Each structure stands twice: as C-alpha cells, then as structure tokens.
Amino acid sequence: MSFIYTARALFIFLATVFAGSMTYFFPGLRGDALVWAGFGLAVSGFIVLIESLIREVYPKTLLVGVLGLWIGLITATLVSKAVPETSYIPEAQRITYAVAMHLFLGYLGAVIALRFVERIDLSSSHLITADDPRLKGCKILDTSVLIDGRLLDMVKTGFLDGIYILPKFVLDELQNIADSPDPSRRQRGRRGLDTVRALKDTDMIMEISEKDYPHIQAVDAKLIQCAKDLEGRIVTNDFNLNKVAEINNIPVLNINDLSNALKPVILPGETLTLTLL
C-alpha cells in the first residue's frame, strides 16, 4: 500500500510542476505560473480521487457503467453528425451543442446501465473471474470456527484439504476480541489466535488475504462479499451467517452440521450403557 501512496504523491507533484512550467515552454499561454500550478494540482488531485474510488467499485459495476457511457457517447456522436452543416449556425454554437449532447447522453447511458446492473448476469461470459483462479473454490475461515477450535482436529486427520483463506479483517476481529476487557471474550479471542497459529504449523495451505471492503462495516457482510469475489466457501459455526450465505447462494461448510451428521446411529433393540456422574 505504501507504494501506491508514493506513486500518487509523485504523480501529483510532477503534474503540478509540469503545469506550472507550461508558461515557460509555451510562451503564448496567458496566466501566471502559480495559477497553472494550482490548476495542475487540482486536476491531478481529482484524478487520484477518481482512481481511489474506482478501486472500491466492483468490476461488474465498473464494466457495465463504462459500457453504458460508451453507448451514450456513440449515440451523441451520431446525433451530432445528423445536424446539417449550415453557414448560418456559428462554429462556436455547433461546438457547444456537440459538447452538451455528449455530456447529456453519456451521463444518461451510464446512469441507465448502472440502474439495471443487478439484472445483468456476466457469470457465463467469463469476462470477470475471481481475483486468482487458483483460489476458486477455496475455504474462507470465519471468526467463530477459529474460536471453536474443532477445525484444527479435522485438518490434522486429513478430512479437509484445499486452500484456506484467512481474511485480514477476520484476524483483526480476533485480535480485538483478545484485547477485550471482558475475561470471557479475551479467552475466546486468544483461543482463536492459538488456533490460527496451530493451523499454520500443519500441512494445510492457509493464506492471509489483505482484501478488505472499507465501504462495508459488518464482518459477516465482508465475508459474504469476499466469498463472492473469490468464488469460495465459508467455513463457520455461526447460524445467522450460515442462513445469510445460503440466501446469497454461497456454499457453507458448517462444523456443527458435520458434527450432527456424524452422530452414531442407534437402532431399535440395541443396548446402551450410560454412566451418570
């Protein structure tokens, strides 16, 4: 992340210096060098702002918005060309008309496309894939399953394989729980961190993902979005998260469901020995 911040600062600095020196390279330009430098600073800052906002936009939304903008601009060009060139229309008015038409139809095309973005399905086109094809079908760990600790025993026995993803925001939540003043929560958080450390010592492939979603506050909602982006499965013990994931058509591996499925079957006529303590 520090490289990105350095690149942004360098870009703004170079753009400001270049804009301020334009009066030296182009003597015909009017205005003071400081005015041009301020203009370069404002434009470069605006570009960096747009770039930072684009990084938080989902690829599907960005693609559909650009496509709608492109269709609107093409329509504006065709409409502008349809106006006959007559001598009684001043050139300045023709240019103003063309610019206004491109702004209006370009904006209209992008807005209409974004309004119906949720109805557009690009899953079968393979235009947008998971961030890393290697991670497709990975298992994304939840806070509850790490605190529970039974996942460690399952991994050691070899029943679960593949790539496990531990999102950084889940690890941060575990650390916050471990730092809680409540002794019970603090013990649960430390147990979760111990599970993470023990999992790293096994043969399982566990990667810590730096992917985060600043516009999403709840950790469960971040897990849902992370599973969508990576096309993975969520490993959890949380009943509510399980239901929300099912509503969003995200596969879930629930340790409690597995435990219930592995309960021994008792047939009629069998003898049970109970020990009461």
Q: Where are the domains of the chain?
A: 1-56, 58-119, 133-260
Strands 205-209 and 233-236, by their bridges, are unpaired
For residue 195, the tally of other CB atoms under 10 A from its CB is 20
Say which CATH architecture domain 133-260 belongs to: 3-Layer(aba) Sandwich (3.40)
Query: CB under 8 Å to 176, separation ≥6 — which residues?
Result: 189
Q: Compute the distance between CA of residue 203 and CA of residue 199 in angstroms, rounded to an integer.
A: 8
Lowest mean pLDDT among 110-124, 199-213, 244-258: 110-124
Place of tokens 């409540």: 182
pLDDT at residue 71, as a whole number: 92
Question: Does the pTM of the predicted model rise above 0.85?
Answer: no
- Two structure tokens written together for 8: 């942004």
**pLDDT value of residue 1:** 46
Quote the DSSP letter at residue 163. E
Strands of 252-254's sheet, edge to edge?
Answer: 205-209, 163-167, 139-141, 233-236, 252-254
H-type helices in 201-277, by residue range?
219-230, 239-247, 255-261
Q: pLDDT tens, 210-234?
A: 777 878 888 888 888 888 888 888 9
Give the bridge partners for 253, in sequence order: 235
